[in-house]
């Protein structure tokens, strides 16, 4: 079901996208077991192999799918993840959802063993609430390791982590935020505002692609375009820069790419920095999306 949100890409295109990303300074990639049942991991590894990219030249983050599983499976799954990744190191291993049969302390105990055994380098979580993240942090700390990240949905149209405690917990603990869907599944590019054309796959079912929401966000898209023109960048680069330049907190954005040009464009978001006044303007326009 997860794979139905995005189009299927040919291996040659995947390799070209990865190559373009690396050439523009992107050196870590996020994938997951549930993305195609491991086929996403294998496609990434194959592309890196074909490009002759050494294992230590890139960082790979992947995720364990916990639904209807226990912490014991987390450890056996790590071996499968390594196999899918052609034995490339797992820099960051994340628990994809907080829905395991095992408690969070048991999961963190398993993560600590994986680190101690050298199967993974760092442990993170995804979609964890503030309370769950704090519990995971303390449980892992008891085994001598640090929880390094929480991957959550975060973009100009979804700022709930600012008010539900997740961002504050991350700041308190020194945990990084990894923002998935940083462009609102493409909505922040503005292309769907120019023509009401539904996206491919399951994204078309999202209420964000209905006419009412497109109308509601028109002012934001106009502001992104005006700022993009001033900085000589694109609206999507402005939206991404807003995420990665959050003051007082480390936030990584993980935009996807289905075209080579998008990989280069994503990397370009790191080449400038929004002014404080522009950040404030975007904050004001999107304050309703923080609830």
Question: How many other C-beta atoms can be found within 10 angstroms of the C-beta atom of residue 225?
Answer: 15
Burial of 52 (0-12, 13-18, 19+ CB in 10 A): exposed
**Residue owning tokens 């990665």:** 244
* Distance of alpha carbon 41 from alpha carbon 56, whole angstroms: 17
* Distance of alpha carbon 262 from alpha carbon 231, whole angstroms: 18
Question: Which residues are the active-site residues?
Answer: 35
Q: What phi, psi does 256 have (nearest 5°)?
A: -85, 175
* Distance of alpha carbon 287 from alpha carbon 291, whole angstroms: 8
Q: How far is CA 126 from CA 30, 190, 217, 237, 272, in A?
A: 12, 28, 27, 24, 28
């Amino acid at each position: 079901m997860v794979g139905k949100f995005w189009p299927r890409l040919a291996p040659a295109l995947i390799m070209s996208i990865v190559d373009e990303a690396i050439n523009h300074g992107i050196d870590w990639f996020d994938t997951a077991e549930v993305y195609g049942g491991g086929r996403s991991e294998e496609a990434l590894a194959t592309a890196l192999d074909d490009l002759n990219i050494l294992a230590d030249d890139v960082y790979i983050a992947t995720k364990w799918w916990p639904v209807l599983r226990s912490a014991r499976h987390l450890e056996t799954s790590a071996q499968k993840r390594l196999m899918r990744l052609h034995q490339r190191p797992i820099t960051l291993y994340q628990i994809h959802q907080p829905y395991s049969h095992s408690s969070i302390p048991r999961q963190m105990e398993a993560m600590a063993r994986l680190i101690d055994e050298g199967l993974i380098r760092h442990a993170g979580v995804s979609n964890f609430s503030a309370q769950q993240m704090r519990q995971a942090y303390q449980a892992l700390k008891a085994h001598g390791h640090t929880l390094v990240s929480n991957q959550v949905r975060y973009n100009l149209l979804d700022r709930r982590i600012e008010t539900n405690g997740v961002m504050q917990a991350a700041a308190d603990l020194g945990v990084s935020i990894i923002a998935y869907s940083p462009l609102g599944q493409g909505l922040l590019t503005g292309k769907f505002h120019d023509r009401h054309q539904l996206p491919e796959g399951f994204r078309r079912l999202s209420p964000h692609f209905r006419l009412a929401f497109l109308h509601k966000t028109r002012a934001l898209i106009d502001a992104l375009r005006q700022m993009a023109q001033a900085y000589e960048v694109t609206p999507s680069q402005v939206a991404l820069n807003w995420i990665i330049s959050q003051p007082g907190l480390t936030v990584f954005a993980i935009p996807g790419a289905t075209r080579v040009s998008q990989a280069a464009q994503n990397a370009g978001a790191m080449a400038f920095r929004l002014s404080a006044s522009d950040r404030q303007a975007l904050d004001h326009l999107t304050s309703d999306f923080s609830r």
